[in-house]
Amino acid sequence: MQQNKHVRPLAARIGAVLLPWLMAMAAIPATGAPAVPAELIVRNGSIYTVQGNKPWAEAFAVRGGRYVAVGGNADVAALAGPQTRVIDLHGAMAMPGINDVHGHPLDGAYEDLYACNFAPSATPAQVLARVAECAARAEPGDWVVGGAWSSTLMADISTPAMLAALDRASAGHPVLLRDETFHNRWANSEAMQRAGIGASSANPAGGIIARDADSGQPTGLFKEFPAFLALERQIPPRTQARQLNAARAAGATLNAVGITGVQDAFTSEGTLRIWSQVDRGPGLPLHLVASLSTMPAADPAERTGLALADGRDTYRGSNLRPDFAKIFLDGIPPARTAEFLAPYLPDAEHGAHFHGQSNYTRAQLVDLLAAFDRRGIPVKIHATGDGSVRLALDAVEAVRQRNGMPGQRHQIAHASFIAGSDLARFRQLGVSADISPMIWYPTGIGMATAMAIGPERAAHIFPIRDLTRAGALVAGGSDWPAGQATPNPWMGIEGLVTRRDPVGAFPGALWPEQAVDLATALRIYTLNSAEAMGLGRETGSIEVGKSADFIVLDRNLFKVPATQIHQATVKQTFFRGRQVYPRGE
């Protein structure tokens, strides 16, 4: 018998209402019966709950990893028992843990531990000096892999002279360096030779091999994943021991800045296997939602796309949810691989009327999106240009007509540039806007974007206030390690409020009319992100029945100047009622 498609959503809504009520009832003893003691009580605090009608509380109690009481000190006092741990905040601010809707935590931690790293502010000469240092320490046969060079340097490094300089610095080792966006690579001659890339190599679909205008030889610059896939496949695979070490380090790094939930924005089967092993061993110290890759795998033996999605439950665990897929609809503006409604600035390579091109036709995108949607799998769609954002919304609209409403809550990742007429469609179609302020508040990426589309258009990036006013679900992420060397959410939160670079490396404000208030910014990074990730009933706010994921800060964010938000320090992080940072307390 076919089940009514409305029964399960209705049951879920009923459960969402009943669970908190049942948990609250469990905290209240029957007449004459003692209360079941809580395992943890937090009291005497300025507790920001992110509940719309009750944004502040003084105390809460936790049992079985969930909140069983939230309110004043007196409301939780009866739940104290001889074994209850009591934390007196002495007025300090506590709030829900941060949910990062867009990160690459395994890559971030692996690079911190093992890569040849340098800051995006590095000049070409500094990059070459760093490569020489890494090459001098490398063992025979090792690759020098790292980053991140600034996307403003693409024209500077894409010359025969710079390729020759990189070859000299590498001392015979193959070199592959990424930019800060993760979308482009710089390779030396040894790496290209090993990958079989030369003057006769054709541009793969969706990728560009930059060439010298006179000789036609590759310059070493590769734009977008398909272009450098052959290079990636030549790099010796990461050992399991190193990946497990990086996965554990990623959890510790995220917990230390207050993150208790993260969406891995691009998850290969190999990465999914590592996350699963950690979760089934010591356990992940946060909620992790995986976005399954639809791209060709660096390891040809790994599944991708629908095949990986159909086998995803093999990897599901207590804290690991392989519930999303990932589609790259376009690239990035600095590389002119994003699709825009208006053309890029004229250049010698593209002419005066180049708009960029999405990686899928409308029909291809609709078919793929509909297939995931039917399987109950929402999709994170990478789209940065306003042309690709419109195409993504058009495709979701077609899928809604084909598969029916409400369908899955898909995400448009980055949604950097949005035509005004498309703002309301996010809410109408139930699409989340996944935004990463740490990339777009005045940064080098912004400067590179201005070089491609002009400073006036580049300044009109991320209309956050307009999106929220239009009723869109806006969720916040770091994109770590792309753009920034840290997943620190307080940088992004301050950027939402000020529209300025928190550390002052890049002056000025970026479209200050789109600033939001602190309460909105905190909701974007907590409850909104949880809802976008499919975890809204589980976490994101301090409410009875939800997972006790919370943090204690060194300052009340509402009582300091907005320009000091990025200086906030997390004193303690709790996940499912268990302290995960600092460990050992």
User: What residue ranges define each of the domains in the chain, with the CATH number in brackets?
Assistant: 1-91+541-585 (2.30.40.10), 100-104+240-540 (3.20.20.140), 107-232 (3.10.310.70)
Average confidence (pLDDT) over 229-233: 93
Residue 224 DSSP SS3: coil
* Lowest mean pLDDT, pick from 70-74, 116-120, 184-188: 116-120
Tell me the one-letter amino acid at 389. V
What average pLDDT does the structure give for the chain?
Answer: 92
Q: Which is nearest to 55 in space by CA: 573, 558, 585, 569?
A: 558
pLDDT at 83 over 50: yes
State the pLDDT at residue 35: 77
For residue range 257-279, list pLDDT tens digits in order. 999 999 999 999 999 999 999 99
For residue range 333-346, list pLDDT tens digits in order. 998 999 999 999 99
Query: How far apart, in Å, are the Cα atoms of 389 and each of 98, 165, 396, 416?
Result: 26, 39, 11, 9
Gap between the Cα atoms of 237 and 232, Å rounded: 9
The structure tokens 């909140």 sit at: 67
Q: Which is nearest to 41 in space by CA: 79, 82, 98, 97?
A: 79
Query: Which pair of tokens denotes residue 476?
Result: 């916040």
pLDDT at 227 over 50: yes
The edge-to-edge listing of strands for the beta sheet with 320-328 is 98-103, 259-267, 287-293, 320-328, 379-383, 411-414, 432-435, 473-476
The overall longest dimension of the chain from CA atoms, in Å, is 91
Query: Which pair of tokens denotes residue 561?
Result: 């100047």
Gap between the Cα atoms of 265 and 280, Å rounded: 21
What are phi and psi for residue 158, nearest 5 degrees?
A: -90, 60
Of all residues in the chain, the percent with pLDDT exceeding 70 is 94
b/e code 416-448 from CB counts within 10 Å (16+ = b): bbbbeebbebbeebbbbbbbbbbbbbbbbbbbb
Query: How far apart, in Å, are the Cα atoms of 375 and each of 306, 310, 408, 500?
Result: 9, 8, 9, 41
Gap between the Cα atoms of 308 and 534, Å rounded: 19
Place 557 in a pLDDT band, splitting at 50, 70 and 90.
very high
Q: Is 82 exposed, middle or buried (0-12, 13-18, 19+ CB in 10 A)?
A: exposed
Place 446 in a pLDDT band, splitting at 50, 70 and 90.
confident
pLDDT at 282 over 60: yes
Place 484 in a pLDDT band, splitting at 50, 70 and 90.
confident
Query: How far apart, in Å, are the Cα atoms of 71 and each of 24, 58, 384, 523?
Result: 12, 6, 42, 20
The edge-to-edge listing of strands for the beta sheet with 175-179 is 116-117, 144-149, 175-179, 184-187, 218-223, 208-211
pLDDT at 10 over 90: no
SS (H, E, C) 319-361: CEEEEEEEEECCCCHHHCCCCCCCCCCCECCCECCCCCCCCCC
E strands, 180-223, where? 184-187, 208-211, 218-223
Gyration radius (Cα) of the chain, Å: 24
In this structure, what is the dihedral angle of CA atoms 477, 479, 485, 488, given to the nearest 10 degrees? Answer: 10
State the pLDDT at residue 18: 53
Q: Strand pairing of 66-71 and 59-63?
A: antiparallel
Place 3 in a pLDDT band, splitting at 50, 70 and 90.
very low
State the pLDDT at residue 15: 52
For residue range 457-472, list pLDDT tens digits in order. 999 999 999 999 999 9
State the pLDDT at residue 482: 85
H or E segment and range at residue 94: strand 93-96
Average confidence (pLDDT) over 365-379: 98
What are phi and psi for residue 513, nearest 5 degrees?
A: -60, -15
Place 5 in a pLDDT band, splitting at 50, 70 and 90.
very low
The structure tokens 């993260």 sit at: 262
Average confidence (pLDDT) over 133-144: 93
Other CB atoms within a 10 A radius of the CB of residue 340 amount to 23
Specify the long-range contacts of residues 455-460, CB closer than 8 Å, at least 24 apart: 457/342, 457/417, 458/333, 459/510, 459/511, 460/417, 460/511
Question: How big, in percent rounded to 5, are the helix, strand and coil portions of the chain?
Answer: 40, 20, 40
pLDDT at 162 over 90: yes
Other CB atoms within a 10 A radius of the CB of residue 277 amount to 17
Beta bridge partners of residue 578, listed in sequence order: 575
E strands, 415-512, where? 432-435, 473-476
pLDDT at 439 over 90: no
Gap between the Cα atoms of 543 and 68, Å rounded: 8
Gap between the Cα atoms of 200 and 196, Å rounded: 10
Other CB atoms within a 10 A radius of the CB of residue 48 amount to 24
Q: Which residues touch 354 (CB under 8 Å, ≥6 apart)?
A: 336, 343, 344, 347
Query: How far apart, in Å, are the Cα atoms of 110 and each of 104, 107, 239, 253?
Result: 10, 5, 11, 12
Residue 118 DSSP SS3: coil
Residue 57 DSSP SS3: strand
State the pLDDT at residue 29: 46
For residue range 11-44, list pLDDT tens digits in order. 444 454 455 544 544 444 444 455 799 999 999 9
pLDDT at 1 over 60: no
Q: Which residues touch 288 (CB under 8 Å, ≥6 apart)?
A: 105, 261, 262, 263, 264, 275, 279, 319, 320, 321
Q: Which residues touch 356 (CB under 8 Å, ≥6 apart)?
A: 330, 331, 336, 337, 338, 339, 340, 344, 385, 387, 388
pLDDT at 156 over 80: yes
State the pLDDT at residue 224: 87
